[in-house]
Amino acid sequence: MTWQKLALAVIAILLAAGLVLGTMYTAGWMFRDSSESGEDQGKATAIALDWGDRLERVATAALLTGGVAALAIATWRGVAADQQAKAALTQTRSSERRLLDERYQEGAEMLGDTRLVVRLAGVYALDRLLEDDKQRYYADVMSLFSTFLRFPIPADRDSEDGVLRADLQTVLLTISRRNDPDDVERLPEAVRTNRAALLHEGGPVNLLSADLRHAFLLFGRVNRVMFVGANLSNCNAWHTDFTGAIFLSAIVRDGSFLECDLTEVEFNGADLTGCSMAGSKLDRAVLRSANLSGVKFSEDGKDPVTGLTQRQLDRAIASPYDLPFLEGVMESETCEPLVWRGRPWFGLKSSSRPKPPVDVELLEF
């Protein structure tokens, strides 16, 4: 029973009680003393039945009944007004949701347009939708953006060689600005603790095998984003938070991660040939079988990476002709200089540097 129905029941009881009490008071049945003798009771009854007294009692009963009735009517009107307000609010919310759904649909359609300017307008429209109602549309919009990056429409004449297309770059920057690092934490524990399930259900930002060559990121957040198998060659990232991102088997050749947070990033099997990571954090980063050929962990001994341990480094691979640059990089646990002791990789040479004498380079292994 709702409180409105309870209030109406109470008012009905009060109204009935008022009518009963008023009738009894009018008839002169109240305020009789049962201890009085029969003669005294007869006198009291005679007085009560006096017409003036009766009129006074009728007026009093009418006021009492009218007050109770007025209270009942006021309560009923209040309940009716409350119900009307709730109905109006529900209708307003339904209209707002319908308008927001239309905005989402229009933005999605604009992303599929062949004209660059229309696609950009679609990105901005969906970005504004996230600003207006992130709780409801976050997963849908981010999944849509991820799909757009993974399966972009064919390039048109607005694209330029050596630069990520403007629409793709805008979507990537929007993701880095709107990304919610706690999104994965909302997944069931069974999914978060199972790597295969996490790769499959790892949240709406899944850039599996996306072609993001020459991408640019600045002061963004791509926490826990899936870059599995993606191509980020020649990417440039400054002061970007990659915490928990997964670069499994990704290609990041000649990329730059300057002053970035790479904490707990998984580079398993990733090709990081020629990358620069000066000033970045590598706490608990996974480098198992990652190709570190020619990777610069400092800039001529300045701005070395932090958080890197010898154990992490030993799990990586590199070309014996193009070893990673470790000058000035200290082991985070022992504060000793890091040395290369990883496994050699004899694939294609990762740079145009001249091949050093074999007897000099291989001695380090």
49-63, 74-88, 165-179: which has the minimum mean pLDDT?
A: 49-63
216: helix, coil or strand? strand
Q: Does residue 341 contact residue 313 with C-beta atoms inside 8 Å? A: yes
148 compared with 156, residue with greater pLDDT: 148
- 84 exposure class (CB count in 10 Å sphere: 0-12, 13-18, 19+): exposed
| pLDDT per residue as tens digits for the range 91-118 | 666 667 788 789 999 999 999 999 999 9
Rounded mean pLDDT, 111-132:
93
pLDDT at 33 over 50: no
pLDDT at 194 over 70: no
| pLDDT per residue as tens digits for the range 221-232 | 999 999 999 999
123-127, 259-263, 340-344: which has the minimum mean pLDDT?
A: 340-344
Rounded mean pLDDT, 320-348:
89
The Cα 236–Cα 275 span in angstroms is 10
The strands making up 256-258's β-sheet, listed across from edge to edge, are 216-218, 236-238, 256-258
Reading the block at residue 21, the tokens are: 């009490």
User: What pLDDT sits at residue 100?
Assistant: 79
What residues are paired with 344 via a beta bridge? 318
151: helix, coil or strand? coil
Q: Quick one: which of 304, 307, 305, 270 has its CA closest to 287?
A: 270
Reading the block at residue 55, the tokens are: 């009129």
Rounded mean pLDDT, 336-348:
85
- If you count them, how many residues does the chain have? 365
The Cα 220–Cα 73 span in angstroms is 60
Give the global pTM.
0.69
36: how many CB neighbours lie within 10 A of its CB? 12
- 116 exposure class (CB count in 10 Å sphere: 0-12, 13-18, 19+): middle
pLDDT at 83 over 80: no
| pLDDT per residue as tens digits for the range 292-332 | 999 999 998 899 999 999 999 999 999 999 999 999 999 98
Rounded mean pLDDT, 34-50:
53
Provide, rounded to the nearest whole percent, the portion of the chain with pLDDT above 90.
49
Rounded mean pLDDT, 185-209:
60
Q: Does residue 110 contact residue 38 with C-beta atoms inside 8 Å? A: no
pLDDT at 361 over 90: no
- The distance in angstroms from the start CA to the end CA of the chain is 80
pLDDT band at 333 (very low <50, low <70, confident <90, very high): confident
pLDDT band at 162 (very low <50, low <70, confident <90, very high): confident
DSSP string, 257-321: EET-B-TT-B-TT-B-TT-B-TT-B-TT-B-TT-B-TT-BSSBTTBS--BS--HHHHHT-EE-TT
Rounded mean pLDDT, 334-344:
91
User: What pLDDT sits at residue 350?
Assistant: 43
Q: What is the DSSP letter of 165?
A: -
The Cα 50–Cα 148 span in angstroms is 94
pLDDT band at 342 (very low <50, low <70, confident <90, very high): confident
pLDDT at 29 over 60: no
Which amino acid is present at 23?
T
Reading the block at residue 323, the tokens are: 């070893």
Q: Quick one: which of 303, 324, 327 has its CA closest to 313?
A: 324
The Cα 4–Cα 80 span in angstroms is 9
pLDDT at 291 over 50: yes
The Cα 155–Cα 150 span in angstroms is 13
241: helix, coil or strand? strand
User: What pLDDT sits at residue 32?
Assistant: 47
pLDDT at 181 over 70: no
User: What pLDDT sits at residue 310?
Assistant: 95
pLDDT at 357 over 90: no
Whole-number Cα distances in Å, 293 to 35, 253, 279: 113, 10, 18
The set of residues, in sequence order, having a beta carbon less than 8 Å from that of 360 and lying 6+ positions away, is none
pLDDT band at 209 (very low <50, low <70, confident <90, very high): very high
Phi and psi at residue 246, to the nearest 5°: -120, 115
79-88, 121-130, 161-170, 265-274: which has the minimum mean pLDDT?
A: 79-88
Whole-number Cα distances in Å, 50 to 14, 28, 46, 58: 29, 10, 7, 12
Mean of all residue pLDDT scores within the chain? 79
